[in-house]
Amino acid sequence: MTSRTRLDRLRAQARAATLSDLTTLPEAVYRLGFVQADPIRAPARAQDLILRNRVKGYRAGDLERQFARLGLEEDFLYAYGFMTPETRQLLHPRADPLKEAGVHTPTGLAADVLNFVRENGPTHPRDLEVRFGRERAVNGWGGYSKATTRALESLHHYGLLRVTHRRDGSRIYACSPPREVGMEPGDRAARAVMLVVSILAPISLGSLRGALTLVSRRNPGFGPLAPVVAAALRSGELEREVIDRETYVWPACENGGRDGSTLRDVRLLAPFDPVVWDRRRFEHLWGWAYRFEAYTPPPRRQFGYYALPILWGDRVIGWANVALADGDLHVTLGYAQGVLSSQVFYRGLDAEIARMQRFLKSRDVP
C-alpha cells in the first residue's frame, strides 16, 4: 500500500471517527462523551458549531437549553467543555497536590462560599456579591476575577460543586451529590486516556502527548500517562500506524473509514471540532497549516478572527469566515490550494451555507 493510499484511508478514518450520520442531541453527546466549549460567538459558540454537524435539526443554544434535562456536566478534560456524568466520574476525586494525602479541604473564602451554596441552593456568581463583596483576585490567565468567582471555580474543580445549568451564559452552581465508591486512580486514568483517544482518533502520538499533559495538569493523581498509552498499545486496546514517519493511534474497535465510498458533502467545522483539533495531523493529512487566530493581532492574521475549516468529503480544502447581520449571512472564503472549479463542491457549499443560516437565525429562539 502506497503512502498516498494510506493517507487517503486515514483521512476517511479521521472523518468517520466522530462525524457520521446525523442523530439526536443525547445520542451525539453520549457518543462523543465530551464536547469542547468556547465562549467566543463568531458566528456561534464552539460547542454549538460542533454539534450542528452531528445533530439533526440542531439549533444554536440547544445544548444549554437541554443541559439539565440531559443530565450533563461541565468540567475540564483536555479542555473545558460539556460531558456526560460517566466522563466526569473519571476525573474525580481530583488530588490536591498541595495536600500531603492529596485530599482537598476548602478553607477561608472557599469554605464560606461552599457553606453559602449548601444553605441557599443553586447559586449565580452575583448572588455572592452581597454577602462577600467584590474583592478581586488574579485568575488563571493573569488578569483579575472576583475572588468569589475564583472560589466557585476551585470548588467546582475539586468536585465539591457542579454546574446545574447556565443563565445568560453564566454558570449556576450547586453542591455535588455524595460520591459513590469510585474506581482506582489507575483505572480512571486508563479510561480517561482511551476516551481522549476515541474523541480525537486517529491522533498523532505527538498531539496525544500534548492532550494528555493537559489532562495530567488537572488530574495529578493519575500519575504519568505515557505508560498508560504504552500499556494500551501492548495489550491491543490501541492500534498504531506509522505514515511518513508520523505515528497515529486509535482504539482497536475503530478500524477505518467507509468501504471505499467517499461522501461529497460540504461542512463548515468549528476550530475545535475533533476532525481538525489535532493541528499536527491536520497539516500532514491535508497539506496545509490551519491556525486559530482569534487571539492573533489583526495585521498578522492569515485566515481571519474565527475561520471555520471547510471539509469537502474527506478533504479540508480551505476556510470560511461567517457573520450574521440583520438576518443576512455574510461569508468570505479562502482556499489552501487555489479556487476550485468543481460544480459539485459549490452546490454542496450553497447547501451548507443555507444550513448555517437556518442554524444561526435560530440561536436566540428559547
Domain boundary among 128, 149, 172: 172
287 — alpha (psi -120 to 50), left (phi > 0) or beta? left
Angle at 187 (CA atoms; ends 183, 190), nearest 5 degrees? 145
pLDDT score for 142:
47
Angle at 108 (CA atoms; ends 102, 110), nearest 5 degrees? 70
pLDDT score for 365:
47
Residue 283 lies in a domain: yes
Chain centroid to Cα 22, Å, comes to 18
Are 72 and 80 in contact, with CB atoms under 8 Å apart?
A: no
State pLDDT tens for residues 75-101. Answer: 999 999 999 999 999 999 999 988 888
Among 164, 184, 267, CA closest to 228? 184
Residue 351 lies in a domain: yes
CA distances from 112 to 133, 198, 363 (A): 13, 40, 37
Residue 255 in grid coordinates = 478500524
pLDDT score for 246:
95
> What is the C-alpha separation between 147 and 297, in angstroms, rounded?
30
Domain boundary among 140, 172, 204: 172
Residue 99 lies in a domain: no
CA distances from 341 to 93, 176, 302, 335, 347 (A): 55, 55, 23, 12, 11
Domain boundary among 138, 172, 206: 172
Concatenating the DSSP letter of every residue in 266-325 gives EEEPPTT-TTTS-HHHHHHHHSS-----TTS-GGG-SS-TTPEEEEETTEEEEEEEEEEE
Residue 147 lies in a domain: yes
Sequence-distant (≥ 6) Cβ neighbours of residue 120 within 8 angstroms = 127
For the chain, the domain total comes to: 2
Concatenating the DSSP letter of every residue in 88-143 gives HHHH-SPP-TTSTT------HHHHHHHHHHHHH-SB-GGGGHHHH---EEE-TTSS
Question: In what helix (H) or strand (E) does residue 3 lie, and over which residues does it extend?
Answer: helix 3-18
Residue 289 lies in a domain: yes
> What is the C-alpha separation between 322 and 176, in angstroms, rounded?
39
Domain extent at residue 284: 266-361
pLDDT score for 182:
72
Residue 5 lies in a domain: no
Residue 192 lies in a domain: no
> What is the C-alpha separation between 68 and 166, in angstroms, rounded?
9
> What is the C-alpha separation between 174 and 152, in angstroms, rounded?
10
pLDDT digit string (tens) for the chain, length 366 residues: 677 889 999 999 999 998 888 999 999 999 999 999 999 999 999 999 999 999 999 999 999 999 999 999 999 999 999 999 999 999 999 999 888 888 899 999 999 999 999 999 999 999 998 888 766 655 444 443 588 999 999 999 999 999 999 988 899 999 999 877 678 889 999 999 999 999 999 999 999 999 999 999 999 999 999 999 999 999 999 999 999 999 999 999 865 444 434 567 999 999 999 999 999 999 999 999 999 999 999 999 999 999 999 999 999 999 999 998 877 889 999 999 988 889 999 999 999 999 999 998 765 544
Residue 57 in grid coordinates = 435539526
